A and B are shown apart, each in its own frame.
Chain A
Amino acid sequence: MVNWIWLGMIVVSVICGAANGRLEQVAEAAFGGAQTGVTVCLGLISILVFWMGLMKIAENAGLVSFLSRLLAPVVRRMFPDVPSDHPAMGYILSNMSANLLGLGNAATPMGIRAMQELQKLNPEPHVATPAMCTLLALNTASITLVPTTMIAIRMNFGSAHPADIVGTTLLATAVATAAALLADRWYRSRSRPSDPPPALPSAKRKGIAPADPAGGEGSAAL
């Protein structure tokens, strides 16, 4: 699906650009976008390097596995195929708590660490596992207690009650997260029968892998 969206956006852009006489701006925007991509990554480097260093300490001190044991009963039901004492659980929980507290730049490295741990359980390294999709769903809906940025911006422009959007945001984010989890559940249960048998990961990777992404996408498409 990502393949088609990407291709679609580019092709539509060129057609639209030609129709609107803005092809020059479109070409410019392509390189501008590439530059933005690199700039964003450069900004991520410092955050990722720092937090991953700190989290390595937490991991070696046993804090991550402690956290996962402590809260596993709650999250285990969302991630039935991850062993409850696996380090991935600890990172998933750190990621969720950071999101909840509005600590965006701490949440991302923790989520990435969780993905890296989930990848170790993945029989096909290029295809997302159901657990990865659930973690992603949680992060795209990103449940938030305090929308700090929005409050700050409204304060900036002289709002009488800058924080009065906290209630509406909480309601909207809870509904969006519930919708994400439900949709994730639905797709997960639908895709289960066509999942590759876990017994044959190496054969799968060697023989069928190149064709598989397309096949998987097709069967999951609406």
Chain B
Amino acid sequence: MTIWIERISAWTIPMLIAFIPLYAALKKVPVYETFIDGAKDGFQTAVAIIPHLVGMMTAIGMFRASGALDALIGLARPLLEAIGVPSEVLPLALLRPITGAGSLAFVSDLIKTQGPDTFAAKVAATIQGSTDTTLYVLTVYFGAVGIRNARYALKVGLFSDLVGFFAAVAACWLMFGAM
């Protein structure tokens, strides 16, 4: 099953890249000129995102460097440990929605130090793999079209991260039992 899905993933991109222009050419679309035309927008979009990402990354960098993130984790620790969350993965609950690169680094380190088949490593990998970085997605997607008032989108994203975190812990308890 997983090998199948991996194979589909590997084939999809090359197939798309070949199929789309081929189909368009049959429909008499000038493929290369159209590509250039659309690609120009891509550049502008990427440039439009820069201020948004710089703003977010700055705040995140400061937050981590100041020790505020560690303090926050320290506060949450006793509470979460009481309900069966392995203490090693706690920082991930806060890191995951804020920084994709940071949480990936944290998970890799945890897998390395704890061993890839420990309960904590499995929980961490599940958390990392099951959601995306909310702040990054919000910044990039809304930044690209110049949305400044995100309304309730951030709350929804953070709420689903929280639910996802506990769902990941629960799923690991279900499938792998106690450590």
Question: Which A residues fall within an 8 A CB radius of B?
Answer: 1-2, 5-6, 9-10, 12-17, 20, 22, 25-26, 28-34, 36-38, 40-42, 44-45, 48-63, 101-103, 106, 108-109, 111-112, 115-116, 118-119, 125-128, 132-133, 135-137, 139-142, 144-151, 153-154, 157-169, 171-173, 175-177, 179-180, 183-184, 187-188, 191, 212-213, 216-217, 220, 222
Q: Is the CB of A54 within 8 A of B66?
A: no
Chain A residues closer than 8 Å to B179, beta-carbon distance: none
Roughly how many angstroms separate A140 CA and B135 CA in the complex, as a whole number? Answer: 8
- Is B107 at the interface (CB under 8 A from chain A)? yes
Question: Which B residues fall within an 8 A CB radius of A?
Answer: 2, 5-6, 8-9, 12-13, 16-17, 20-21, 23-24, 27, 29, 31, 34-39, 41-43, 45-47, 49-50, 53-68, 71, 97, 101, 104, 107-108, 111-112, 115-117, 121-122, 125-134, 137-138, 140-142, 144-157, 159-161, 163-164, 167-168, 171-172, 174-176
User: Given the interface contacts A101-B9, A172-B127, does A179 sit within 8 Å of B159 by beta carbon?
Assistant: yes
Report B102 CB to chain A, min CB distance, Å: 10
Q: Is the CB of A136 within 8 A of B157?
A: yes
Given contacts A132-B141, A140-B134, A153-B125, 20 further A-B contacts (CB under 8 A): A1-B154, A2-B138, A9-B63, A10-B59, A13-B63, A16-B68, A30-B61, A45-B47, A52-B45, A106-B13, A136-B157, A147-B126, A147-B129, A153-B111, A164-B122, A167-B175, A168-B174, A183-B156, A187-B152, A222-B155
Roughly how many angstroms separate A63 CA and B16 CA in the complex, as a whole number? Answer: 12
User: Given the interface contacts A6-B56, A26-B62, does A180 sit within 8 Å of B156 by beta carbon?
Assistant: yes
Report A40 CB to chain B, min CB distance, Å: 6
Contact among B50, B65, B127, B140 with A26 in the assembled complex (CB-CB below 8 Å) = B65
Chain B residues closer than 8 Å to A146, beta-carbon distance: 2, 5-6, 9
Roughly how many angstroms separate A66 CA and B174 CA in the complex, as a whole number? Answer: 42
Roughly how many angstroms separate A52 CA and B144 CA in the complex, as a whole number? Answer: 13
Roughly how many angstroms separate A151 CA and B37 CA in the complex, as a whole number? Answer: 38
* Closest Cβ neighbor of B71 among chain A residues: A16
Contact among B8, B20, B66 with A61 in the assembled complex (CB-CB below 8 Å) = B20
Roughly how many angstroms separate A147 CA and B146 CA in the complex, as a whole number? Answer: 31
Q: Is the CB of B23 within 8 A of A17?
A: no
Q: Is the CB of A176 within 8 A of B131?
A: yes
Chain B residues closer than 8 Å to A212, beta-carbon distance: 149
Q: Is the CB of B131 within 8 A of A53?
A: no
Q: Is the CB of B35 within 8 A of A128?
A: no
